[in-house]
A and B are shown apart, each in its own frame.
Chain A
Amino acid sequence: MNPARTETHLRHIAIIGNPNAGKTTLFNALTGMRQKVGNYPGVTVEKKEGRIAFEDGSEAVLLDLPGTYSLTANSPDEKVATDVLLGRIEDTPLPELVVCVVDASNLERNLYLISQVIDTHLPIVIALNMVDVAEKEGIVIDIMKLSEELGVTIIPTVGSKGTGIDELKEAIAKPVELSRKSRQWRLPEPVQRECDELKGMLQRTHHLTEPIAFHEAIVLLTSTAALAEHNDRYDPELIDHVRKDHKQLELLGIDRNSVVVESRYEWIKRVCASAIVTHRRNLNNTSDKIDRVLTHRIWGFIIFIGLMAVMFQAIFSWANIPMLMIGDAIGWIDLQIVQWMSPGDLRDLIVNGAVSGVGAVVTFLPQILFLFLFIGLLEDTGYMARAAFIMDRLMSKVGLHGKSFIPLLSSFACAIPGIMATRTIESRKDRLVTMLVSPLVSCSARLPVYALMIAAFIPQKRILGVFSMPGLTLVAMYLLGLTAALTMAWLFKKTLLKSETPAFIMELPPYKMPSLKSVGLHMWERSMLFLKKAGTIILGASIILWFLATYPKADHGSASERLDLSFAGRAGHLIEPLIKPLGFDWKIGIGLIGSVLQREVFVSTMGTIYNIRDAKQESGIMSLQEHMRRDVDPISGAPIFTTLTAICLMVYYVLAMQCLSTVAVMKRETNGWKWPIFQIGYMTALAYAVTFVVYRVGLLFMV
């Protein structure tokens, strides 16, 4: 059954607003936790929907449109927003009502988008958000007057405090049709005439609705690029007509690009003049004072690098306490099962396959929580935009945009949101380059691998009394990933995806106190995603790997010999000649095979491998690190893992593409297999080459 059919009685409402206007906070407040995330058909823009429950028990679907400054369709995000509001997207009904979130402290620019939404003729309710901030800045808005000017119901809100939410809900439940003067802004006479004529032609020849015809008429009139693009979409006669219009307007000395924007802003100026009562203009000095330090030539950098350093040091040391506790709890669960179940394959499967596999991953949840706490705070306070502002010069050196920094920074948590965050980048090539290099940045899934290898093999020495060797090694791994990403980006921009450095036109929103609720919600969402992965993919992988490592069963020999003869051992041996030059043995080979799925599987594989070998001695649960440190080559007696092996392994994990989910996202985002396959190829080659060099050079220096 088509689920859409059962929902046809539900009203569909869209919510739209400028970035930083507080749209997400209002969306969360209106829908609570009842949200689902999907994708628009054919494009890569995230589609977020929620349900609003009204007082009378009825419900409506609330669609969260991407944050955008305009409906000009310069980026995929803008295009989706535009198409939804024009009813041009499959599977997405034309909204019956549009909730426009407007930042009251930034009315002029926010009204630009509103003027475009008004043009769609859809019923509108405006949430005039952040009225408290506006008041503090001395901006007093006559809401009655503004409502009258726009012909739209306006509800003042303070999203961060939950003020006005009930009133907003009520206005959405029973929208009042105000008499709206049709299209309030006007183009200068000759342009208006051409526009009307073109609109009429589009309506007649192509049977477009009035709002779509108007939108298209404006696009065709103003943009030469759009005209070329739409060449085959429209009647040749119509295209000829547009070309003539262009020439005519040129003769009249009218700048087609600016005339529409200027006419809208003219209208906005009139609206603001009558609706804003500015008593005094206290500019938000606090943000300025903060920026004087945070974007200072010297201090700005020191603080930026310091913040990053604190973030990693904290992830590594603070998270240690809960990690140990979780580790203990899992050990306890293992013990209980071992005590209460009789020995056999099933107990083996549960203890060595399921519990140890999932347990090894859940242990790293605290680190992931810390990482998302930091990223959430940086985003919510407004520092993220400053990071782009500070880093843009560097990013432009490799041919990228400061905005690429945000996807790259997000990739520290996970390449998947990182790759998805690239959709704010307007140029296709730059977006592709950013997506290609994002997985080189060390994501949280690598952290378990680094953490295991560092804790086991990097000595606990202190340097300069403050920094510890383990901490510095971790920072080095992160820096390696970032360096590799930037170098590869530069290389791609020079060769494969040659194009000009993209524009950098970005708002710097005022700093604000982070909302703990939204940061918390973000952490919760991301941890759940991580746990779900741990619970499904990793559980499945652990069981498969346990099976591969247990069967076919040999009746005699030591645990090590039996593993040697298993499917996994054979596969590990099979690839051993390939990875021997990197200093890896067949056990690491098994780990690498498992990591094809996901990097953190390495840890659970090691857990499974080493637990199996000691399944006979149930004297106690030794930590995995201990096992790995003690493991020796049965022939030579040399340790399997040395500090050098550990470093090589980490380097390999920094650079290699070992994540099926990322491959899947790449496939979806690029609409085909070409780029994900290219990505796997270049990353594997890079990882192999660099690890080889590190190993060979390391052998010269290390004993």
Chain B
Amino acid sequence: MERTTLNKLLPGEHGTVERVDSKTSSIKQRLLEMGLTRGTTIEMIRFAPMGDPVEISVRGYRLSLRRVEAESVIVLQDVKQ
């Protein structure tokens, strides 16, 4: 387990949400409501053609968000054996 932010994950990498730390409370609220709550497992799926936004898998569905927003999601990254 390694603490990092969601934007640092590469496609195929998994992690667990620790907290959302956005300065803008409406963004934080939205990210939480979309299911990025503590303990939720997520997977980075891919980056958009121009590298931003990114697509993640969370709670069985696909969510896209910008790198700036992903940066506010603190995750514990699963380290591959």
Contacts and interface: CB of A to CB of B under 8 A. Distances in A.
Interface of A: 69-70, 72, 74, 105-109, 112, 222-225, 255, 257-258, 261-262, 265, 283, 287-288, 291-292, 295-298, 300-301, 385, 389-390, 392-394, 396, 402, 426, 503-510
B35 to A, nearest CB: 5
A558 B1 CA distance: 90
B35 A112 contact: yes
Given A105-B60, A223-B25, A225-B26, A505 B31 contact: yes
Nearest to A70: B33
Contacts of B26: 74, 225, 426, 503
A255 B19 contact: yes
Contact of B49 (A107, A288, A295, A508): A295
Contacts of B60: 105-109, 283
Contact of B64 (A106, A225, A297, A504): A504
Contacts of A300: 49
B10 interface: no
Contact of A390 (B24, B34, B49): B49
B12 to A, nearest CB: 12
Interface residues of B, number: 36
A262 B31 CA distance: 12
A77 to B, nearest CB: 13
Interface string B18-38: 011000111111111111011
A108 B36 CA distance: 12
Contact of A74 (B29, B35, B40, B64): B29
Nearest to A298: B49
A504 B48 CA distance: 13
The 4 A-B residue pairs with the shortest CB-CB distance in the complex, in nearest-first order = A393-B50, A261-B32, A508-B62, A108-B59
Interface of B: 19-20, 24-35, 37-38, 40, 45-46, 48-53, 55, 57, 59-66, 69
26 contacts: A72-B29, A74-B30, A108-B59, A109-B61, A112-B33, A224-B25, A258-B37, A261-B37, A265-B35, A283-B60, A291-B55, A292-B46, A295-B49, A295-B55, A297-B49, A298-B49, A301-B49, A389-B64, A393-B52, A393-B53, A402-B53, A503-B27, A503-B30, A504-B53, A509-B61, A509-B62
A504 B49 contact: no
A376 to B, nearest CB: 22
Contacts of B65: 503-506
Contacts of B25: 223-225, 257
Given A389-B64, A426-B26, A258 B32 contact: yes
B6 to A, nearest CB: 12
A505 B52 contact: no
A69 B50 contact: no
A105 B48 CA distance: 24
A295 B45 CA distance: 11
A125 to B, nearest CB: 24
A66 to B, nearest CB: 16
Nearest to A297: B49
B49 A262 contact: no
A467 to B, nearest CB: 25
Nearest to B58: A109
Contact of B69 (A108, A224, A257, A505): A505
A225 B23 CA distance: 12
A373 B64 CA distance: 27
Contact of B48 (A72, A109, A265, A389): A389
Given A389-B55, A504-B69, A508-B55, A72 B33 contact: yes
A653 B79 CA distance: 58
B68 to A, nearest CB: 8
Given A506-B64, A508-B63, A392 B48 contact: yes
Given A108-B35, A291-B46, A504 B66 contact: yes
A660 B55 CA distance: 41
A109 B35 contact: yes
B63 A393 contact: no
A394 B50 contact: yes
A69 B34 contact: yes
Contacts of B46: 291-292, 295
A392 to B, nearest CB: 5
Contacts of A287: 62
Contact of B66 (A288, A297, A503, A508): A503
A664 to B, nearest CB: 31
B59 A258 contact: no
Contacts of B32: 257-258, 261-262
B51 to A, nearest CB: 7
Contacts of B61: 106, 109, 507, 509
A240 B35 CA distance: 32
A452 B41 CA distance: 57
Contacts of A394: 50
A262 B34 contact: no
Nearest to B50: A393
Which of A389, A503, A507 has the largest number of chain B CB atoms within 10 A? A503
